[in-house]
Amino acid sequence: MFDERWITLFVFISMVGIVLRAPALAGLGLIGLTIAATTRLLERHTLRHVDYERRFSETRLFVDETVTISGHVANRGRLPVISLMIEDSTPRTFRLPSTHKSHTVTDGAERVDLTQLLALKPGEHTSRSTVVQATQRGYYPFGPARLRAFDILGLSLAERIDHPSDALIVYPRVYPLEKPGIPTRDPFGAMPAMRRLIEDPSLVMGSRDYEYGDSFRQIHWKATAHVGKLQTRVCEHTSDPTAMILLNVTTLEKDWHGTDVERFEWVLSVAGSLAVWASEWGCTVGLSSNGCAPNMPHAVRIPPRRAPNQLTRIMEGLAVLMAFTAMQFDMFLLSEQRHVPFGATIIVVTSIVTPAIEASLLRLHALGKRLILISADYTAPDLNTLPFIAYHVPPPEHTTFRQAVQISLGERGTGRT
């Protein structure tokens, strides 16, 4: 309220009173200066000891699930806050579970309003909880929160903008495999043949002298430096089957034609459903895609490994994946097979099967790779001529593959934000 102009005015009144020897006028100016100085001091300290924090019941959730967002406010100072306004809102695509008017429209996008208006005594803390529902897959960082408060005299308004690093990750929908007609008992005939003892490259138990024919990638460099001659890793053996899901984010034959959003979201759900099924079946599963994930640059390639949070990492990768193509899928298949562990089954999930993609698949099959094709196109392509297992899983409007299921992830709700 009292800016530099008021202070200049009070100084002028005080000087005039002193010059004219008018005690009343000089006293008025001094009183005004005292109030202005006190107000400026209180304005600086009003929000200094006020903390605002968002708290989530879950940081990871599926589409259509709800999460409770609590805005926790605390006054750690010795002075009360008589009027505190906290302006906050959720990212887009979140809504209230039921019809409610407690929302604002910003830039044409619906956001659930988390604004609070309250007063706090010294040492008091309070919170307001709001239940919101996720409507779309993705990674959603929360924006800044604006705090406004009057000082104890009610003469000045203090303002502060907080930038907490809060975010929610919404997983794609996950469905049971039997809905589209894929048998849940032995659906991928090539995978049971893998139930034999093979080396697990993630479990290194020692080293041995290098022998002719050993893979260059298996050289144990630390042991080589210690011994003075080439050493090869000796890995433990495992009987767990391994699968690598290769996901195509291209939905139209030409990239520059755009993206079919419905098919794109559908192939993500199919890939997530396969990952969940494979994990529950006891398979070591990984994910790789020709798409981009700017929020998590390492999410497009998740190597197969046995870890409690492996399924969580895969679902996070699917949540943040975007339809920007980093490489043509037919070239991606030939390039990415170098990163697929030996003996693993490659599960290809794509919404289109072009002649170039089919040629790459046939080339991989000729190289001895175990392949399974999941076609998510609207119309059924000719899959009978392929020399490996193939399924047609059209989008929901062409199938009964609709009923979502709830699954339990190892570290759901506790991951990073």
Query: How much is the average pLDDT of 237-264?
Result: 80
Q: pLDDT at position 152, please?
A: 64
Q: pLDDT at position 253, please?
A: 78
Confidence of residue 299 (pLDDT cuts 50, 70, 90): low
Residue pLDDT, tens place only, 374-406: 888 877 777 778 888 888 888 876 443 333 333
Q: pLDDT at position 109, please?
A: 52
CA 191 to the chain's CA centroid: 30
Q: pLDDT at position 348, please?
A: 92
User: On the CB side of 155, how many CA atoms lie within 13 Å of its CA?
Assistant: 15
Question: Of all residues in the chain, what percent carry a pLDDT higher than 90?
Answer: 18
Complete DSSP assignment for 76-92: -SSS-EEEEEEE-BPPT
**Comparing C-alpha atoms, which of 4, 119, 126, 7 is closest to residue 55?**
126
Query: How much is the average pLDDT of 58-72?
Result: 91
5-14, 47-56, 331-340: least confidently modelled range: 5-14
Question: What's the token pair of residue 368?
Answer: 């001895």
Domain 50-171 -> CATH class:
mainly beta
Higher local confidence (pLDDT), 100 or 204: 204
Confidence of residue 205 (pLDDT cuts 50, 70, 90): low
Confidence of residue 211 (pLDDT cuts 50, 70, 90): confident
Confidence of residue 341 (pLDDT cuts 50, 70, 90): confident
Domain ranges of the chain: 4-45, 50-171, 192-196+239-398, 202-238
Q: How many CB atoms lie within 10 A of CB 133?
A: 17
Mapped onto helix, strand or coil, the DSSP state of residue 61 is strand
Q: pLDDT at position 368, please?
A: 87
Give the architecture-level CATH label for domain 192-196+239-398.
Answer: 3-Layer(aba) Sandwich (3.40)
Confidence of residue 349 (pLDDT cuts 50, 70, 90): very high
pLDDT at 209 over 70: yes
pLDDT at 240 over 80: no
Confidence of residue 318 (pLDDT cuts 50, 70, 90): very high
Q: pLDDT at position 175, please?
A: 83
pLDDT at 170 over 90: yes
Q: How many CB atoms lie within 10 A of CB 194?
A: 18
| Calpha distance 115→224 (Å, rounded) | 62
Buried b (16+ CB within 10 A) or exposed e, 300-311: bebbbbeeeebb
Q: pLDDT at position 97, please?
A: 86
- Please name the residues in contact with 215: beta carbons below 8 A apart, sequence gap of 6 or more: none
Q: pLDDT at position 172, please?
A: 92
pLDDT at 64 over 50: yes
Q: pLDDT at position 67, please?
A: 92
Query: How much is the average pLDDT of 346-364?
Result: 91
Query: How much is the average pLDDT of 196-216?
Result: 68
User: What stretch of H or E contains 150?
Assistant: strand 145-150
Instruction: Share the mean pLDDT of the chain.
Output: 78
Q: What DSSP character marks residue 227?
A: H
Question: What's the token pair of residue 342?
Answer: 């030996």
Query: How much is the average pLDDT of 336-360?
Result: 88
| Calpha distance 388→203 (Å, rounded) | 31
Q: pLDDT at position 263, please?
A: 87
Partnered with residue 150 across adjacent β-strands are 83, 157
Query: How much is the average pLDDT of 175-194?
Result: 55
| Calpha distance 30→231 (Å, rounded) | 86
